[in-house]
Amino acid sequence: MDVKKANELIMAGSTGQSSAARLIEIARSSFNKVSSMESFDNLSELNKFFNGGHFNLTGNEIKDVELVILLLASSNDISNQRLDRASKFLNLCDFLSSNVGTTIQRVVHYFSKALRDKIDREDWVTSSKTGGDTNNKLSHPDETMVSLSPALITCSLKLPFIQVTQFAGLQAIIESVASSKRVHFIDMAIRSGVQCISLMQALATRDEPRIELLKITAIGTTLQTKIEETVMVTNLEHIDVNLFELNDDESVVVSSRLLLRNTLRQPGSLESMMRMFKNLNPCIVVITEFETDHTSGIFLDRFSQALTFYTAFFNCLEDCMDKTDENRKVLEGSYLGEEIKNIVAAGNDDRIFMDMKIEEWRSLFTSFGMMETELSSSALYQADLVAKQFDPGNSCSCNMNEKSLVVNWKGTPIVSLSTWKLC
């Protein structure tokens, strides 16, 4: 990206302020000019190809761009096994970033920690060949999810893209059981349980036909002692239709929110889920997944995708929640930071998250004999209504990808919502 193009991006914002995503692009453009050099080893040499005056940036924005350039330099050095120099740049990143600063400062803070972990892993691989040993396995972030329920619920209620997909998905479910008196709702990834509450409220206010029974089955794979009265399986590969108490007079609906991203690294898990869907024969399967690609085995590609995605995510948190909100700090530090570490630093065998875009999910689901259904105009209206209600500044926008909904934050795709039936 040249200076002219980057400047166009900066000036595109209706408020005249540079978004964090645009600052990332300016940093990338500037770093690309120097990345092929082998001699740079300090901030002044890195920044000699960056002139904030070309982009009409404020002093704080210039500092943020310089900080991202440092992060990019360290990731580039790690990719090229120049670990000592990468560590030097990360020392500067750690000094200049903060978990309570701007979007850029917070993002760099957590990505710097992830890159530091990546270096430690690289060092361990080298030392292990000579007898070294360390416990470098990353914990599963979902193990913290249940204990974070208060913070999770608070943040979910304030994030537009979460609310948009939740209410649009709920509308699709309500429509699918419009003539049913007995409904069996299966939540494939029970966490806070918020969507179950919303479903109960929506069905309770329905006039005809009156709901006689709403059965909710929640699936959990971790922390059984903290999740009561659920179907517990040690691995999604072990899930089976016989685990559910099904009755012939029930209309079955299935919701899977941010679960499938965990299945691609679990042998047989996705196949078992698809077989289960076929045996359940649900009216509808509602699937919500992050709209990004973290599947690449090439470190820099995965790092770049993650940096774009989480910058938008952190920017949404900053715009929609007070900077002093402890719930935001907990979510960023205890969950998102660990998620970034797993995506950026973990080796292939330790990877937990394999996010894919809707096109890849569509191809995969179709190969398993599922058929994508189009969201109704009522569901799309609900999505647009919620987006405007939670974000009057129009930073949250919705667009269709074939029959599925993609929700964006300031132009960056964040999450997709799709609905499916059996062929």
> Which residues of 84-220 form beta strands (DSSP E)?
182-187, 213-220
How many other CB atoms sit within 10 Å of the CB of residue 203? Answer: 17
Backbone dihedral angles phi then psi of residue 41, each to the nearest 5 degrees: -145, 15
Check the CA dihedral 370-376-382-385 and report its sign.
positive
Alpha carbons 218 and 208: distance in angstroms, whole number: 27
Contacts of 47 (CB under 8 A, 6+ apart): 30, 66, 69
User: Alpha-carbon distance 136 to 67, whole Å?
Assistant: 27
Beta strands in 25-152 (DSSP E): none
| Total Cβ atoms within 10 A of residue 44 | 8
Cis bond before residue 282 (omega within 30° of 0): no
For residue 421, give the 3-state DSSP assignment: strand
Q: How far apart are CA 379 and CA 421, in angstroms?
A: 17
Beta bridge partners of 254: 186, 285
pLDDT, one tens digit for every residue, the chain (423 residues): 443 444 444 334 333 344 899 999 999 988 887 766 655 666 666 666 676 667 888 889 989 999 999 999 999 999 999 999 999 999 999 999 999 999 999 999 999 999 999 999 886 655 544 444 444 444 454 554 455 567 777 888 899 999 999 999 999 999 999 999 999 999 887 655 667 888 888 888 888 889 999 988 887 655 454 445 446 555 566 566 667 778 888 999 999 998 888 888 777 888 888 888 888 889 999 999 999 999 998 999 999 999 999 999 999 999 999 888 999 998 999 889 999 999 999 888 888 889 999 999 999 999 999 999 999 999 999 999 999 888 777 899 999 999 999 999 999 999 999 999 988
Q: Where are the alpha helices (DSSP H) in 214-295?
A: 269-280
Q: Which two tokens stand for residue 209?
A: 């036909």
65 and 30 Cβ atoms separated by less than 8 Å: yes
What are the residue ranges spanned by the domains of the chain?
3-136+299-350, 149-292+355-422
Of the candidates 304, 245, 401, 340, the residue with the CA atom closest to the CA atom of residue 75: 304
Say how far residue 29 (Cα) sits from the centre of its chain: 25
Query: Which CATH fold topology does 149-292+355-422 show?
Result: Rossmann fold (3.40.50)
Report the pLDDT value the prediction gives residue 14, as an integer from 0 to 100: 34
Position 138 scores a pLDDT of 46
CB-CB contact of 212 with 181 (8 Å): yes
